[in-house]
């Protein structure tokens, strides 16, 4: 009798264990389904306006009518000036911006304009791209958006060789366009402060301007400007040797701060008015995804996500050994951004080529 009861108990325990294992596997499958999908041999179906329709759940009254790049004509006899200063608007920088827009362009290439459905991939700089072998797949997208000084040369097998747009700001402009980009790549300046407009104007107009030296900062902060300098967070190559001198204003675009506003307000819930000393802002990566959702009909991402805060040794980039510690003084809330990207993955606004 005791033996039968014991066998029944063991059977019940075994059944419960099987159910728990099944539930765990199903949840893991669901996680993979949401946040990662394998490369398919055939192109995924692409429907016009699909990304805009899905992301409206997050952005609300969101419209693709906003221009992607700032245009000179919009700053003559302006009737509705921007409500915010940089990086969320151009309030107070209009006169300077007029000079910059006079020597740059704003057009979207015809090769993109004529596409019936735009398939785009935003290539992040994350360590998980290393040994991913995604290069060939990335090259097949209509639009490939890259970030800052992320190199292509030497990493083609993992990150591809095609670059349609590269978003950058002065402190991240250490890349050489002739080496890392294609002849028709658009270089898109993300302006965080008015000095960024001064910088690009100086580069493109070839002004003989001596940029000030930087002074050492406290340990862990990196390099900060010396007192009374131009307030760059990191050293910026001087105009005389900057690789962007090899480009022309026709290669440069100025990103509409509208996308920074949308990313900050709708995705991160950041206040538009913040004290300068504690100002938080979206990363260039989240900004690029926001831009892609505006420009494209299908949006995939790769190389996004940071190591856990406890993992202090794993690099955050595929091309250099910089750890999560370097983000401490960046003004970016990487945990909040991870939640924002997961929300976009969950509603199907974007899909992930790498695990997240």
pTM for the model: 0.80
- Cβ count within 10 A of residue 270: 18
The per-residue pLDDT for 306 is: 77
What is the C-alpha radius of gyration for the chain, rounded to an integer number of angstroms?
A: 23
Locate 6 and state its tokens.
Answer: 């014991």
DSSP 8-state code for residue 61? S
- Cβ count within 10 A of residue 353: 24
The per-residue pLDDT for 214 is: 37
Mapped onto helix, strand or coil, the DSSP state of residue 300 is strand
Could you give the domains of the chain? 43-352 (3.90.1480.20)
**24: region left, alpha or beta (phi > 0 left; psi from -120 to 50 alpha):** alpha
Cβ-contact 329, 13 below 8 angstroms? no
The per-residue pLDDT for 16 is: 63
**274: region left, alpha or beta (phi > 0 left; psi from -120 to 50 alpha):** beta
The per-residue pLDDT for 213 is: 37
- Residue linked to tokens 């990103």: 255
Taking 70 as the pLDDT cut, the residues of the chain under it are 1-4, 6, 15-43, 61-64, 78-79, 206-243, 245-249, 274-278, 309-312, 324-332, 356
Residue-wise pLDDT for 78-105, tens only, equals: 667 788 999 999 999 999 999 999 999 9
The per-residue pLDDT for 219 is: 33
- Residue 74's contacts (CB-CB under 8 Å, 6 or more residues apart) are 67
Q: Which of 103, 284, 107, 71 is nearest to 203 (CA)?
A: 103
């Amino acid at each position: 009798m005791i033996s039968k009861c014991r066998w029944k108990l063991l059977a019940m325990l075994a059944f419960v264990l099987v159910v728990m294992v099944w539930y765990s596997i199903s949840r893991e499958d669901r996680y993979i389904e949401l946040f990662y999908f394998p490369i398919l041999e055939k192109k995924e179906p692409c429907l016009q306006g699909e990304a805009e329709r899905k992301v409206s759940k997050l952005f609300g009254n969101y419209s693709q009518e906003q221009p992607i790049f700032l245009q000179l004509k919009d700053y003559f006899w302006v009737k509705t000036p921007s409500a915010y200063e940089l990086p969320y608007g151009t309030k107070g920088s209009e006169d300077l911006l007029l000079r910059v827009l006079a020597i740059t362009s704003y057009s979207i290439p015809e090769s993109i304009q004529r596409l019936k459905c735009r398939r785009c991939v935003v290539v992040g700089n994350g360590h998980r791209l290393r040994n991913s072998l995604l290069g060939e797949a990335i090259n097949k997208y209509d639009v490939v958006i890259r970030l800052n000084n992320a190199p292509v040369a030497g990493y083609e097998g993992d990150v591809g060789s095609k670059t349609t747009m590269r978003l950058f700001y002065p402190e991240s402009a250490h890349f050489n366009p002739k080496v890392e980009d294609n002849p028709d790549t658009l270089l898109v300046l993300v302006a965080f402060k008015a000095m960024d407009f001064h910088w690009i104007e100086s580069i493109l107009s070839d002004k003989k301007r001596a940029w000030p030296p930087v002074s050492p900062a406290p340990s862990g902060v990196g390099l900060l400007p010396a007192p009374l300098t131009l307030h760059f967070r990191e050293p910026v190559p001087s105009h005389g040797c900057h690789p962007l001198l090899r480009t022309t204003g026709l290669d440069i675009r100025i990103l509409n701060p509208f996308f920074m506003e949308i990313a900050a307000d709708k995705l991160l819930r950041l206040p538009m008015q913040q004290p300068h000393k504690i100002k938080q802002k979206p990363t260039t990566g989240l900004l690029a995804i926001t831009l892609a959702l505006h420009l494209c009909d299908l949006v995939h991402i790769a190389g996004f996500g940071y190591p856990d805060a406890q993992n202090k040794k794993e690099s955050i980039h595929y091309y250099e050994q910089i750890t999560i510690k370097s983000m401490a003084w960046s003004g970016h809330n990487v945990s909040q951004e991870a939640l924002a990207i997961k929300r976009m993955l969950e509603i199907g606004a974007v899909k992930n080529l790498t695990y997240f």
